[in-house]
Amino acid sequence: HARRDKNVATLVERSLVLVKPDGVKRALTGAIIDRIERKGMRVIAMDLRSLPRELVEEHYAEHQGKPFFEPLVSFMLSGPVVAMVIEGHRCIEAFRTLSGATDPVKAAPGTIRGDLATDVGTTVVQNLVHGSDSPASAEREIKLFFPDLA
């Protein structure tokens, strides 16, 4: 009998995903959701919204003081985003793997950024999506974007 390894036990997580303004403008929201769902993850909350500056600054607080911080904030305010909470087995890491590297030129083919991002930004990397990078970040970011979610 094959025994199931402890490491593959189901671990249902939630992650915050954003389709950034470049993704909304290029009408790639549907394609991005399609990839999330085909991978086996579910969208459990979602809306299209224009973000207030304070929320963007709080969301990216770890980057405050870096040269790309102001361009990044401006970029995130340049149009609406689609904010969502996804759920699934190890979905925090799974979505990061699906997104690909931050730099779309280096992102592997097959990933969202590798296949779809072009990065025509000059001062900020335009890479279509954001996904929480750890369980602690996911908890913080979900509270920030969806405070009413149980």
Stretch 38-77: interaction string toward ligand UDP, x if CB under 6 A: ------------------------------x---x-----
- Can 130 be counted among the known catalytic residues? yes
DSSP output for 5-50 = PGGGS--EEEEEEEE-HHHHHTT-HHHHHHHHHHTT-EEEEEEEEP
Q: Residue type at 149?
A: L
Distance CA 133, CA 145 (A): 16
State the minimum distance, in angstroms, from the CB of residue 102 to ligand UDP.
Answer: 3
State the minimum distance, in angstroms, from the CB of residue 79 to ligand UDP.
Answer: 14
Stretch 106-145: interaction string toward ligand UDP, x if CB under 6 A: ------------------xx-x--x--x------------
Residue reference for tokens 């001062």: 123
What's the DSSP call for residue 105?
T
Residue number, 19 or 72, with CB nearest to ligand UDP = 72
Could you list the active site residues?
130
